[in-house]
Amino acid sequence: MRTLVIGAGIAGLTAALMARAEGHTVTLVTKGFGGLQLSHGTVDILDAERPLEEKDNLPEGHPYHLITANSIKAGVDTFASYVPLAGSCEETKIYPTALGALRRTSLVPVSMASGEITEGASYLLVGFSGLKDFYPLLAAENLSRQGVKARGVKIELTAPGDTALAFSRSLAEPGAAENLGRRLSELAEGEEIIGIPAVLRQSDFDNLAKVTGRSIFQIPLPPPSVPGLDANERLRAACQEARVRFFLNGQAVGALSEGGCITAVKVQIAGSIKEIPTDAVIYAGGGLESGAILFDSYRTLADTVFGLPVSAPTTDPAQILHGDYNGDPQPLFACGLTVDADMRPLNDKGEPAFANLYAAGGMLAGAQRAHEKSGEGIALGSAAQAVAAIVRSQS
């Protein structure tokens, strides 16, 4: 079985690994990497206490009505087998953000796990003088206003640059993480849990945590995010190890079909168009955010690869983007492909457009991912459900 995946975001990379685990010959074509490397590295299923139970209360047309809890669990399990995570799909816990807001999520990188906000705990937030994007005194003050016991301290620490990445490289030098760990342990009082900005790769964080001798955690920063990059690199390395054929800088631009099935995908690579034969396609192009769906100056929506119909919550071009920045989520962000329970995009007649074309992640219509905090759950669940449908189609 030859499966071709379009896109290297969380949905495409995970789908590729799942299809490979089923014994498929997998080709992944992507014009670039996706949102994973910009993300916190956390896995949001839904902004609710019990996401898998509450997903069924979402409005009609939401993709979670088609994506089963078992698919979400299967996708998350695959992702977590490559990226060390703590937590569960069944529930959410609350963690502090870099500004001291409280954010709910289901699974977090292991280095963030001790940051769970729990009753009676007190937190020491430590920032570094040379690092932008993390102000420990402000974050601690904001937490205190919300009833969380916290104080902030800034220590002298610089790197050859003021970004998380510069600090990440500097703290990866032999002994650097351990030195910082010793300094941090001297700052904490009583039972304080130490929070630091997320600048360490998991292995460097482990070295630091060993010498502090107390609970310590990382707090996600704005992108580029070290935990997000870490997750992205782990999945990509896993694809290489699993011998997924990878075309970076390969943009899918169309397809050949016969008898209602796609037989090859046309991919623009290095100035020429290559036709890659395939038995099944998983379209994980990210939707509007990654350019697989276009919104033009006439407010028209179009699918750029297969010419599939794109649905949106409103067909009125004047309503699709409203001017109230702090108001309701923009209808535009819920645009995408309507799919059946096998994740196959539907044509204008409401039938699968192609028998062997499946969609996953940000391609699916009906979700306000950033607002609902459902993006990663939809991506992983739909990837798993699409791969399971391909496997069933073989039997």
Ligand X SMILES: Cc1cc2nc3c(=O)[nH]c(=O)nc-3n(C[C@H](O)[C@H](O)[C@H](O)COP(=O)(O)OP(=O)(O)OC[C@H]3O[C@@H](n4cnc5c(N)ncnc54)[C@H](O)[C@@H]3O)c2cc1C
Burial of 392: CB neighbours in 10 Å, binned 0-12, 13-18, 19+ = exposed
- Reduced to 3 states (helix: H, G, I; strand: E, B; else coil), residue 3 is strand
Contact set with ligand X (CB under 6 A)? 6-12, 29-36, 39, 44, 251-252, 284-286, 289-292, 304-305, 361-362, 369-370, 373-376, 379
Strands 149-155 and 107-109, by their bridges, are unpaired
CB of 52 to ligand X, least distance (A): 15
Cβ-based nearer residue to ligand X, 9 or 181: 9
Cβ-based nearer residue to ligand X, 169 or 371: 371
Cβ-based nearer residue to ligand X, 41 or 285: 285
Largest separation between any pair of C-alpha atoms in the chain: 71
- Distance from the Cα of residue 23 to its chain's centroid: 25
CB of 103 to ligand X, least distance (A): 8
CB 199 within 8 A of CB 193: no
CB of 237 to ligand X, least distance (A): 16
Cβ-based nearer residue to ligand X, 197 or 287: 287
Quote the CA–CA distance of 285 and 361 in Å, as a whole number.
8
**Residues, the chain:** 395
Cβ-based nearer residue to ligand X, 65 or 183: 65
Cβ-based nearer residue to ligand X, 75 or 181: 75
Quote the CA–CA distance of 367 and 256 in Å, as a whole number.
30
CB of 216 to ligand X, least distance (A): 24
Q: Which residues pair with 203 in a beta bridge?
A: none
Quote the CA–CA distance of 244 and 271 in Å, as a whole number.
23
CB count within 10 Å of CB 316 equals 10
CB of 239 to ligand X, least distance (A): 12
Among 84, 74, 36, 30, smallest CA distance to 52 is for: 74
CB of 160 to ligand X, least distance (A): 29
